[in-house]
Amino acid sequence: MAQAQVFPRRANLIAWLIVALIVITPIAAITGLYLWWYSPAVTLAGVPIQQPVNYSHALHVGGLKIDCRYCHTSVDKAANAGLPSTETCMSCHSQVKPDSAALALVRESYATNTPIEWNKVYDLPSHVYFNHSIHLTGGVGCSSCHGDMSKAQVVGRNQPLHMSWCLQCHSNPENQIRPRDQIFNPAYVFPANQAELGLKLIDDYKIEVPRLRNCSVCHR
């Protein structure tokens, strides 16, 4: 007597599909989350941040060769780089293009003594401590984090600011350290012997590399 078939022939296929979904779905979800977390949608890396005044670093830094410290006066002295006051802008623009429509907000700010509300580009979480002056003193140039500002028409984040990105440099700082006279050179190119030069500069600058990986250095 023929034995009755309990399950249809496609049951095996359905079973394998279910197993595949159980295995693939978490992998796909984790992969998707990872790609999303490192995408510009989250990091804002490469996304231009529009400002109330159309300020061009390409013109001021690249064309006019204005040093970073002229506007960001505290960058080599304090944790915060600082933003230029309207008085700083008007020290030039009271004479240069004083009637430009593009500078109307700057003139209004100067006349009313009301600071311009610039939009933040680099905004770290409250639990992260970052000090500009320590990095500059240690030989890390502006362009290592901000990119070549001499070519930036509209500024955006040049890096994702994830902890893993920070740790790459804190673990192997010799890859990013440059001579101090090149700190503010936006177009600086690391030489072919950077590994050797970096190790020498670490010694010259007396950088304690093991300490850079201590949690308390960035989280206080």
Q: What is the pLDDT of residues 78-125, one digit of tens each?
A: 999 999 999 999 999 999 999 999 999 999 999 999 999 999 999 888
Residue 8, pLDDT score: 72
pLDDT in tens, 9-57: 777 777 788 888 888 888 888 888 888 888 888 888 889 999 999 999 9
Do 208 and 144 share a structural domain? yes
205 lies in a domain?
yes
For 98, what's the count of Cα atoms within 13 Å in the CB-facing half-sphere? 6
In a domain, 1, yes or no: no
Q: Looking at the structure, do residues 149 and 203 belong to the same domain, yes or no?
A: yes
Count how many domains the chain has.
Answer: 2
Do residue 78 and residue 177 come from a single domain? yes
Residue 149: name the closest of 41, 38, 44, 69 by CA: 69
Task: Provide the terminal-to-terminal Cα distance of the chain, rounded to the nearest Å.
Answer: 79
Residues 92 and 176 both lie in one domain: no
| CA–CA dist 218, 13 (Å, integer) | 53
Residue 174 sits in the same domain as residue 78: yes
Percentage of the chain beyond pLDDT 70 is 96
Do 108 and 186 reside in the same domain of the chain?
no
Say yes or no: 78 and 169 in one domain: yes
- The predicted pLDDT at position 20 comes to 81
- For 133, the domain range is 57-63+74-82+121-218
Least Cα distance to 167 among 95, 215, 208, 220 occurs for 215
Q: Clarify whether residues 90 and 78 are in a common domain.
A: no
Residues 200 and 97 in one domain: no
Is 47 part of a structural domain of the chain?
Answer: no
Cα angle 86, 43, 33 (rounded to 5 degrees) comes to 160
